[in-house]
Structure 1
């Protein structure tokens, strides 16, 4: 098994390499159809990584806390586990699990989005909105029954 390489992105300007020794893989029987090999081939992959190890990889405390908070629903303690069983091949499932783990870590370590600054509508857009409302009101007024004033 080789190291997990996470490509550079927001929050990881130089990317991240997780040594293979910090990753834990388990193989089990995948459920579902698979023919003769379904009960003999351990093609389902469970890939686990302890997020506490990120500190040893140069991730600062603030980003580690952010990652723990964002992934809280998926964690067992501080261990993040990813399953992959969509392929019949163990090799393909290993690759899928690694890609999924890399994606989760990349998004968890990304900085938070800047808060939205509320803006006011422009004068022209307010004018267009009111003009459209007037036109709709005219259309609806034209649909009503004529009143019997005479």
Structure 2
């Protein structure tokens, strides 16, 4: 079991890993060894995730989630397969933790009377400054 937080634990069987050849640095090794990792996690059908977390996770992941609700994380930052696996798993866990946080709802506020007055006063002063810059006809 992979522990995400106090309430959520993922079963290792829910995560599928595919190994592909990575681009970038690695010398001849990059042409021979499949070090990049494609981690797949079925968000839509995962029994480990509560429904509100599932909805927020799909919204957070954006284009990384397929039409079927499968989250795909690609990791090819490192030259070794093990480090890329750890990186992909850590990114998945971090994404799920972020989805667990509920945003505080915004309460609309209104400007105070004093702030409205300050705004209008500054606009008045700015208008006066600009008015002094105008050249009146016949004063050339």
Aligned to 2:2: 4
Q: C-alpha displacement at 1:103, in angstroms?
A: 2.3
Is residue 2:14 matched to residue 1:25?
Answer: no
Query: CA 1:78/1:140 → structure 2, altered by over 3 Å: closer, same or farther?
Result: closer
Aligned to 1:66: 55
Question: How far apart, in 2, do the equivalents of 1:138 and 1:98 lie?
Answer: 62
- 1:52, CA displacement in angstroms? 4.5
CA contact (8 A) 1:68 1:78 kept: no
Q: Would you say how many aligned residue pairs link Structure 1 and Structure 2?
A: 137
Q: State the distance in 1 between where 2:54 and 2:123 align.
A: 50
* Deviating 4+ runs (over 6 angstroms): none
1:97 matches 2:95 = no
Q: Does 1:130 align with 2:128?
A: no
* Structure 2 residue aligned with 1:117: 107
Counterpart position of 1:83: 74
RMSD: 2.5
What stretches of structure 1 of length at least 5 have no aligned partner? Answer: 9-13
TM normalised by structure 2 equals 0.80
TM-score, normalised with respect to structure 1: 0.75
Counterpart of 1:41 in structure 2 is 33
Quick one: structure 1 residues 52 and 144, their matched pair in 2 at CA, closer, same or farther if it must change by over 3 Å?
A: closer
Structure 1 pair 38–130 and aligned structure 2 pair: CA distance change class (3 A): same
Summarize the Cα distance change of 1:75–1:108 in structure 2 as closer, same or farther, 3 Å threshold.
farther
Q: Which protein, 1 or 2, shows the higher relative CO under an 8 Å CA cutoff with sep ≥ 6?
A: 1
Q: In structure 2, what is the Cα distance between the partners aligned to 1:143 and 1:67? A: 55
Moved more, 104-113 or 136-145: 104-113
